[in-house]
Amino acid sequence: MPSLLCAVLQSAALLWVRVLSDSTQEALLHAESTKSTPWRTPSYLVGDCNTVWTSAFVSYKLPYTVQFGDSGYYKWWSPLASGTDTEIGVGMLLSPPNTVYKTDGSWETHYFGANHFRPDASNSTNCCCEYVGGEGPDHPRVLADYFVAKVPHSSHRPMAEVYRPYLRECPTSNATAFQLFGKPFIEIYDTCRPVVAWPAYFKPLLFSLAFILFIAVGRLLQYCRSGRGKVVMEDDAESGAYHVMPEEAPPSFGAPDSCEEARQESQGSTVCSVSESVSMGCSGSFTQK
C-alpha cells in the first residue's frame, strides 16, 4: 500500500507541474489582455462568446470560449481535438474599429489586429485584418480573419511593437477582403454573454491554497524517496490485519554459547563428537540417546 501511495503521489505531482505550467501561461496572457488599447471594442462583440463552428473544426473540440473585453483586447481557450492540450491565445486591436450599422439591424466592424497563442512551435505573432458582423444584437456573430503576416519567434515581444512593419489599411468590407486575401479563418459565435468577474481576493486565495498543497505533496514525495520505515508485513491470524514491524537483526548461526545449550538442542541425535567436546570445553562426551 505505501508503494502504491507513493506512485499516486508521483503521478499527482507530475499532473500538478503541468497544471501549474498551463496556469502560468494563462496568467501571462491574462495579464497582457487586461491592458487597454486606445480603441474600444464594439458593444455587440463584448462578452464571453460561445464558438459553435470554426473553419478549423478538425483541430479543436467545440464549443470553446472567446472573450472580448471592452478595451480592445480579446482572448480564447480552445481545447485541441487530440485532447493533449488547450490552446490559449490573446489578441488586440491595432487600429480603430470601423463599424457600420444598417437600417435592417445588421452590423459589421473591421480593424487591423494581432494575436499569438500557446502552444505554438514557432512562437509567432499573427497580424490580421479582422471582420466581425451579425444580423443584430441577439443573433450569431461571424468573425473572418485574413492573415497579413506571420512573424516567427516574436510572441515574447509586445504585439504593438511586432505589428508596426506590417500595418496596413484593411479593405472596407469583408467581401472586398475575400477578393484580396482569399479564404479567411472563420469562427461563428451563437451568443456573447456578459463577462463574469471574480472577486478581487479570489485568485490570491486560490494561489495560496495551491502553494500549500504543492508543499504538502513535495514533503510526502520526499518521504517516499527517503526509503525510511521499511515495511515488514506480518499476517495477524486473529484479525487478518497487517502491521508495520521494526526490522529485526538476522539471527546468529554461530556455535552454541554453552554445552548445556548444545545438549538441549541435540536431544535425539549426536550433538558433539569427542573432538567437538574438547574444542568446546565440554567435561564429557555426548552419546546418542
- Sign for the CA dihedral angle at 9, 11, 17, 23 comes to negative
**Percent of the chain's residues with pLDDT above 70:** 58
Angle subtended by helix axes 202-226 and 2-33, to nearest 10:
150
Contact 274, 283 (CB under 8 A): no
- List phi, psi (to 5°) of 273: -80, 175
Write the pLDDT tens digit of every residue in 274-287: 444 444 444 444 44
- List phi, psi (to 5°) of 262: -65, -40
How many whole angstroms separate alpha carbon 191 and alpha carbon 137? 9
Residue 118 CB contacts under 8 Å (≥ 6 apart), including other chains: 25, 29, 87, 88, 89, 155
| Helix (H), strand (E), coil (C) string for 217-262 | HHHHHHHHHHCCCCCCEEECCCCCCEEECCCCCCCCCCCCCCHHHH
- 288 pLDDT higher than 70: no
Say which residue, 200 or 212, is predicted with more confidence: 212
**Residues pairing with 144 in the sheet:** 131, 186
Contact 244, 231 (CB under 8 A): yes
Q: What is the DSSP letter of 60?
A: B
In this predicted structure, what is the pLDDT of residue 104? 92
Q: What is the DSSP letter of 266?
A: T
Helix (H, G, I), strand (E, B) or coil at 1: coil
In this structure, the number of other CB atoms found within 10 A of the CB of residue 237 comes to 6
In this predicted structure, what is the pLDDT of residue 113? 95
Write the pLDDT tens digit of every residue in 126-180: 999 999 999 988 899 999 999 999 999 999 999 989 989 999 999 999 999 999 9
Instruction: Tell the residue number behind the cell numbers 491592458, with chain if given.
Output: 35
* Residue whose C-alpha is closest to residue 66's, from 54, 56, 55, 74: 74
pTM score = 0.61
Contact 174, 186 (CB under 8 A): no
Q: Predicted confidence band at 272 (pLDDT cuts at 50, 70, 90)?
A: very low
